[in-house]
């Protein structure tokens, strides 16, 4: 049961009429607790799915077209289903929908003419994975209840983003949107594509705090980091031919390259290798309820992203540094790709309200922007929902 379903059905009927009762599918956004820029290096990540989600309503269409209306942008896109295989990206939000439609067709699933309405509560550009939420909910809507292996669904949506949207992202966002768990985080091994559901201590809450900025640099810097990691791997393979990705590199191995590897490659690799270690340590500390250790690992992750990986920005740094001064805060870091978007802050539940007011006041004073805050409630992964 989900009340967003009734709202979306209503919107659907206003748009397309009520002749045919739509089916409704939901896919969540996520907050990544730790393990940043490790997924495309085949390492570890530990996100949780959020109650912020994209909801897609769908019913058959009679005119041979796939039509998608976004309530958020109040725009519609349509394509004849016969042309899906050869579709080209338009470089706008519609590419997420068409990308998954095309991947479904390429994977042998027939896409029927249909009308879709999408409505998302995941803030765009916030680092909370609004794109995976739309991809996964649209894919489920286009499948219309036909079975698909969950891992196949996550991979297919990632291919849509890599091959059609043109963003060389890892698997984390699509994976957690599919495999999210109510009340828990999920530690994902991005090489084996297996996961462990990881409990979180009840004495801590996580709040995502939005800088409300998204610097243009984000997309190109992400591509550069992917390339820089590949270059670091290539240089290490001369000595260790069995290294396939930074996942295969330990801190000890990396230390051997200190004198020979260029400084940029060394710093990028050091972030990824140390971040993988932090994910393991964070998951262990979470299971035993070691709050201080968890907080310290979050801060170490941020410093590494700021100094070695260079994907932070002054707004993210300000939120992290200011949060760490506020009583009741265990730790804080940027979350997602970086260059804006959200921080994730771990705080004592009793202090959460007071902390939000103090942080908001300080950020407004510095940047003249009101940071949105989203309490992170670990939520289930994607699926069909029924109206309440
Ligand atoms: C974006 C990408 C993910 C991941 C993160 C950084 O969210 O979509 O695959 O690489 O950045 O951890």
CB 169 near ligand 1, within 6 Å: yes
> Could you tell me the distance, in angstroms and rounded to a whole number, from the CA of residue 171 to the centre of ligand 1?
8
CA distances from 354 to 265, 291, 351 (A): 42, 19, 5
Across the strands, what pairs with 80? Answer: 65
> Per-residue confidence of the chain (388 residues) as pLDDT tens digits?
456 788 999 999 999 998 889 999 999 999 999 999 999 999 999 999 999 999 999 999 999 999 999 999 999 999 999 999 999 999 999 999 999 999 999 999 999 999 999 999 999 999 999 999 999 999 999 999 999 999 999 999 999 999 999 999 999 999 999 999 999 999 999 999 999 999 999 999 999 999 999 987 768 999 999 999 999 999 999 999 999 999 999 999 999 999 899 999 999 999 999 999 999 999 999 999 999 999 999 999 999 999 999 999 999 999 999 999 999 999 999 999 999 999 999 999 999 889 999 999 999 999 999 999 999 999 999 999 986 5
Q: Which residues of 50-59 are buried (b: 16+ CB within 10 A; e: fewer)?
A: bbbbbbbbbb
> Could you tell me the distance, in angstroms and rounded to a whole number, from the CA of residue 232 to the centre of ligand 1?
19
Task: Check if 173 is active-site.
Answer: yes
β-sheet with 205-214: strand ranges across: 329-334, 340-347, 205-214, 373-375
The residues near 127 (Cβ < 8 Å, ≥ 6 apart) are 334, 335, 336, 337, 338, 340, 341, 342
- pTM, two decimals, is 0.97
> Taken in order 37, 46, 250, 155, is the CA torsion positive or negative?
negative
> Could you tell me the distance, in angstroms and rounded to a whole number, from the CA of residue 129 to the centre of ligand 1?
8
Q: 3-state DSSP helix/strand/coil percent for the chain, to nearest 5?
A: 45, 25, 30
* 337 CA: nearest ligand 1 atom: 11
Q: How far apart are CA 165 and CA 184, in angstroms?
A: 30
CB 275 near ligand 1, within 6 Å: no
CB 125 near ligand 1, within 6 Å: no
* 222 CA: nearest ligand 1 atom: 11
On the CB side of 257, CA atoms within 13 Å amount to 25
The one catalytic residue in 2, 39, 173, 308 is 173
CB 40 near ligand 1, within 6 Å: yes
Q: How many CB atoms lie within 10 A of CB 48?
A: 25
Residue of minimum CA distance from atom 11 in ligand 1: 337
């Amino acid at each position: 049961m989900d009340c967003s379903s009734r709202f979306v059905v209503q919107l659907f009927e206003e748009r397309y009429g009520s002749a045919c009762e739509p089916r409704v599918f939901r896919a969540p956004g996520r907050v990544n607790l730790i393990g940043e820029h490790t997924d495309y290096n085949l390492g570890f990540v530990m996100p949780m799915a959020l109650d912020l989600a994209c909801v897609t309503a769908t019913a058959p269409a009679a005119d041979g077209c796939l039509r998608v209306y976004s309530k958020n942008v109040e725009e519609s896109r349509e394509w004849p289903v016969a042309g899906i295989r050869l579709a080209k990206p338009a470089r706008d939000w519609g590419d997420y929908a068409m990308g998954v439609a095309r991947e479904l067709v390429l994977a042998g699933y027939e896409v029927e003419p249909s009308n879709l309405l999408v409505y998302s509560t995941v803030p765009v550009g916030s680092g909370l994975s609004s794109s995976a939420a739309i991809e996964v909910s649209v894919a489920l809507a286009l499948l219309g209840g036909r079975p698909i292996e969950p891992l196949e669904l996550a991979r297919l949506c990632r291919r849509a983003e890599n091959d059609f949207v043109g963003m060389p992202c890892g698997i984390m966002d699509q994976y957690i949107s599919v495999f999210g768990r109510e009340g828990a985080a999920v530690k994902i091994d991005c090489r084996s594509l297996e996961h462990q559901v990881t409990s979180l201590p009840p004495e801590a809450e996580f709040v995502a705090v939005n800088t409300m900025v998204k610097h243009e640099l984000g997309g190109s810097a992400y591509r550069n980091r992917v390339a820089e990691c590949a270059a670091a791997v290539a240089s290490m393979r001369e000595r260790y031919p069995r290294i396939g990705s930074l996942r295969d590199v330990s801190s000890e191995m990396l230390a051997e390259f200190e004198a020979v590897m260029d400084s940029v490659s060394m710093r990028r690799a050091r972030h990824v290798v140390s971040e993988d270690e932090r994910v393991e340590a964070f998951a262990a500390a979470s299971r035993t309820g070691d709050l201080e250790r968890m907080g310290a690992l979050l801060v170490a992750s941020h410093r590494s992203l700021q100094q070695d990986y260079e994907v932070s920005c002054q707004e993210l740094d300000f939120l992290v540094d200011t949060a760490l001064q506020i009583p009741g805060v265990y730790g804080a870091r940027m979350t997602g790709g970086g260059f804006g978007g959200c921080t994730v802050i771990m705080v004592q539940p009793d202090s959460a309200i007071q902390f939000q007011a103090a942080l908001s006041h300080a950020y407004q004073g510095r940047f003249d922007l009101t940071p949105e805050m989203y309490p992170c409630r670990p939520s289930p992964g994607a699926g069909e929902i029924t109206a309440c």
